[in-house]
């Protein structure tokens, strides 16, 4: 469970271009459920996701993860928490080009120091789960959009996180692939993962698997 209390995020504080991306957001994201943050561009969805995923610190407010306060932890600990608890799927996928799909999947686990052969096997198993065994040694830029999306999901799962965070995951996908993505999220939810998705795509927020929708506008929650 993730609990946010009075979260506020201000960019360029004190400068003429000061901008409040998130303002006074208090929210509880329940474990093992699919939650969608819905809202137009600039509503603060991505910023809120970054804060929930320990990628950015709020300007004010508190965050609790599984009942533990994590707002004031130093960067090193936040990195550890992020690596152990969260798997990220980015809007533009953010796969590293020039290296293989397999290596992209293994990347988040490199600093952990797991035995290379075991890690490789785990990554291959994950790729197998998404029918990508044949593509394991292909460079990511040779993959189709759907394949690349699945590689990104496999990468998010390599450290076996309890929470999957996806930012506009269907932005570059056609309808068929978007539906396929939601099916993948459903199967992950069924395996006990918490899913948080930021999206303004109806295929996502109208999906049957979504258990809760949080609507944002101008950095504020306008509907839960």
Partner 1 sequence: MGPWIEKQRNILDFTLASLLRRKGKNAALLLVYTFIVFVLASVMFFTHSIKKEAGLVLQGSPDIIVQRTVAGRHDLIPASYLGPLTKIRGVASGRIRLWGYYFDPITGANYTLLVPEDFSAGAGAAIVGSGISKSRLASEGDVIVLRAHNGESLVLTIKGVLSEKSELISADLVLISEPDFRKLFGISKGHGTDIVLTVRNKKELSTIALKITEALPDARPIIRDEILRTYESVFNWRGGIITVLLAGAVFAFIIFAWDKATGLSAEERKEIGILKAVGWETSDVLLMKFWEGAALSLSAFLTGTALAYLHVFFASSPLFGPALKGWSVLYPEFRLTPFIDPVQIATLFFLTVVPYTTATIVPSWRAATVDPDSVMR
- Per CB under 8 A, the list member of 88, 148, 200, 219 interacting with partner 1 is 88
- Cα-flanking dihedrals φ and ψ of residue 98, to 5°? 90, -15
Q: How far is CA 167 from CA 33, 87, 147, in A?
A: 16, 11, 18
Question: Distance (Å, rounded) from C-alpha 59 to C-alpha 176?
Answer: 39
Does the protein bind partner 1 through residue 49 (CB under 8 A)? yes
Size of the site for partner 1 (CB under 8 A): 36
Only one of the segments 28-36, 90-98, 124-132, 172-180 lies at the binding site for partner 1 (rule: CB under 8 A); that segment is 90-98
**Binding pattern to partner 1, positions 4-23, x when CB under 8 A?**
--------------------
Question: Distance (Å, rounded) from C-alpha 8 to C-alpha 79?
Answer: 21
- Report the candidate in 147, 149, 155 with the shortest Cα–Cα distance to residue 131: 147
Residues 137-196 that bind partner 1 (CB under 8 A): 155, 159, 167
- Per CB under 8 A, the list member of 113, 176, 191, 192 interacting with partner 1 is 113
- Report the candidate in 109, 104, 105, 82 with the shortest Cα–Cα distance to residue 163: 82
Residues 54-73 that bind partner 1 (CB under 8 A): 55-56
* Least CB distance to partner 1 at residue 110 (A): 4
Instruction: Give Rg (Cα) of the chain.
Output: 17
Residues that bind partner 1 (CB under 8 A): 46-47, 49-50, 55-56, 75-76, 79, 82-83, 88, 90-91, 94, 96-100, 103, 106-116, 119, 155, 159, 167
């Amino acid at each position: 469970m993730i609990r946010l209390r009075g979260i506020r995020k201000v960019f360029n504080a004190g400068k003429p271009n000061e901008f409040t991306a998130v303002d006074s957001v208090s929210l509880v994201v329940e474990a093992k459920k699919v939650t969608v943050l819905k809202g137009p561009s600039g509503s603060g969805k991505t910023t809120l996701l970054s804060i929930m995923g320990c990628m950015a610190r709020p300007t004010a407010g508190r965050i609790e993860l599984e009942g533990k306060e994590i707002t004031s932890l130093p960067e090193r600990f936040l990195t550890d928490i992020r690596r152990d608890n969260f798997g990220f799927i980015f809007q533009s996928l953010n796969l590293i080009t020039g290296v293989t799909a397999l290596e992209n999947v293994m990347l988040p686990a490199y600093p952990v120091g797991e035995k290379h052969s075991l890690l490789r096997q785990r990554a291959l198993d994950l790729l197998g789960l998404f029918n990508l065994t044949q593509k394991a040694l292909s460079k990511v830029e040779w993959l189709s959009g759907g394949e690349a999306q699945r590689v990104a999901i496999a990468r998010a799962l390599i450290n076996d996180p309890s929470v999957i965070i996806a930012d506009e995951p269907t932005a570059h996908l056609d309808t068929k692939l978007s539906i396929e993505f939601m099916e993948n999220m459903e199967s992950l939810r069924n395996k006990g993962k918490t899913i948080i998705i930021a999206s303004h795509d109806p295929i996502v927020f109208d999906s049957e698997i979504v258990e809760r929708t949080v609507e944002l506008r101008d950095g504020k929650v306008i509907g839960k």
